[in-house]
Amino acid sequence: MMSPGTTDVAQPARGPPTKRTTDPALANRTIHFVGIGGCGLSGLARMLAEQGATCTGSDGVPTDLTAALQAEGISISVEQSAESLPADCNLVIASAAISPDHPQRLAAHQRNIPVLSYAEALGKVQALRTGVSIAGTHGKSTTAAMLCHVLMQCGLDPSFIVGADCPQIGGGSRTGAATIPGAGPYSGGPGILVAEACEFDRSFHHHRPVIALINNVEEDHLDIYHNLDAIIEAFAEFARLLPAATQGGRLLIAHDGAHRAAIADNLRCTVETFGYSPDADYHLKFEPPESRVELHVEDEVCCTWSNRAMPGAHNALNSAAAAVLAHYFGAQWNDIAAALTSFQGVNRRMQRLGTRRIAGDGEVIVYDDYGHHPTEIEATLQALRETECPTRLICVFQPHQHSRTRFLLEDFARSFSSADVVIVPHIYFVRDSEVEKHKVRAADLVDRLRKRGVTAMHLYPFDAIVEHLDVMCRDGDLVVIMGAGPVWQVARDFLARPA
């Protein structure tokens, strides 16, 4: 491993900088995006439109995001029929959520129009930039947003596609400089492109990064992977995509919790580790409830910042990873610390929405969070308990996907130990078959929680949950709404109800 703390990274051996930042297969095309309302696909559409492609899209549900794209000149329709595929389209890019039998995909095949997945198209764009891929079971959106904020504050002008909205960096996507500014080791090379690398369906194998992060590796997407060993091998294959150290290839991997011995063995790139272990190349110390993070290289403190907007030991790790990645590009430690301290958070990632007045002149704190995996839930609830010190912690959790709920049911039951009350609506049905849908119910999770001594109940629809919160909440309570589905509506409706 390279001596930690240095910035003498080998200059990427790619010849002189180029202003061409789009793969020729994507430039000057008329591209239709199926499922354009997602964070990733919308960001890619915006990026390609800015670089000269003619972009259109379709999505079944209009949202603020699709409205924003339309305001920027991208024509979007809710019509999903084969006939609605534009006549002049010569390339289709489809979201991972779009099934192969979607009418517009079938129409494209019938008309001999090439169809790329989002990940395939992203890889083509990334190959002509200095790609930074953020991988891991948890923390991808948060870490990517933190990194982009730091790079922007340090004058490194990145492009990015982040899977969550971060108002502080201008949303979830941005097109930055064609070449890397500054005097760092990658300066003058093709511009930085930060993107999340999702392991679902092994889509991250289409990435073409120069630098990668692996935050953590756990069991998830077990409808795709047979077991944890298969997941580890998928991450190892992802790591092998990185170029050699002589070409600037670097992997930053968690010292603990990422199966680094199996994943990072015999790679061509430079490998460094981060984490709470003193044996990590970059090791950190975290001091709650002030959320003070201290990053050490060998025996010296190189950087100190506050994570007040996104507290918790897990977010301290996310921010430390962002700090190290920014330093790879030549950002100075003091500038990195200032940028991280000023970071204001990401929508639906441990987001403090505000307080709600209740009868008797009391007050309830309301949070919203995207967490839908047991480890994420446990870490977030612990951080909220530690930081806010509520009288009671009430969690409304919507399980996301029946297969995930069934495979990880016992882990889910253990993850709510910091909660006083858990309310579970119906499981959000996505991707699973109808057969899978009948193998597990929200009531099964409620039963497991009750056996562990947690007050738990199954309530639906969302209106009933809001009404129940209105009745049960007392002064000093904290309500957190969790899940990757539409359960976020509960938080907004609860806040909007009159006291």
Query: DSSP characters for 443-464?
Result: HHHHHHHHHTT-EEEE--SHHH
What is the C-alpha to C-alpha distance for residues 178 and 190, in angstroms, rounded to an integer?
Answer: 6
Could you tell me where in the chain the CATH 3.90.190.20 domains are found?
A: 351-496
Q: In the chain, which segments carry CATH 3.40.1190.10? A: 127-341
Cα end-to-end distance, the chain, whole Å: 59
Q: What is the Cα–Cα distance from 429 to 103, expressed in whole angstroms? A: 21
Q: Could you list the pLDDT tens digit for every one of the 499 residues in the chain?
A: 443 333 333 344 333 333 445 566 677 789 999 999 888 899 999 999 988 899 999 998 888 889 999 999 999 999 989 999 999 999 999 998 888 999 999 999 999 999 999 999 999 999 999 999 999 999 999 999 999 999 999 999 999 999 888 999 998 889 999 999 999 999 999 999 999 999 988 999 999 999 999 999 998 888 889 899 999 999 999 999 999 999 999 999 999 999 999 999 999 999 999 999 999 999 999 998 888 999 999 889 999 999 989 999 999 999 999 999 999 999 999 999 999 999 999 998 999 999 999 877 789 999 999 999 899 999 999 999 999 999 999 999 999 989 889 988 999 999 999 999 999 999 998 877 888 888 999 999 999 999 999 999 999 999 999 999 999 999 999 999 999 889 999 999 999 988 7
Provide the 3-class DSSP secondary structure of residue 84: helix
- Architecture in CATH of 127-341: 3-Layer(aba) Sandwich (3.40)
Residue 289: per-residue pLDDT: 82
C-alpha span between 4 and 274 (Å, rounded): 10
pTM score over 0.75: yes
User: What are the distances in angstroms from CA 134 to CA 141, 282, 325, 407, 410?
Assistant: 8, 17, 10, 25, 28
Residue 78's H or E segment, with its range, is: none
Other Cβ atoms within 10 Å of 88 Cβ, number = 8
**Encoded tokens for 446:** 């409620």
User: 351-496, which class in CATH?
Assistant: alpha beta
The Cα 388–Cα 106 span in angstroms is 51
SS3 413: helix
Residue ranges, comma separated, of all CATH 3.40.50.720 domains in the chain are 30-117
Give CA–CA dist 366/384, Å, rounded.
Answer: 11
User: 30-117: what fold?
Assistant: Rossmann fold (3.40.50)
Token pair recorded at residue 465:
């949950």
Neighbours of 464 (CB within 10 A): 12
Residue 260 near residue 253 (C-beta atoms within 8 A): yes
Q: What is the pLDDT of residue 14?
A: 38
The DSSP result for 4-58, as a single string, is TT---PPPP-S-S--S--S-TTTTT-EEEEETTTSHHHHHHHHHHHHTT-EEEEE
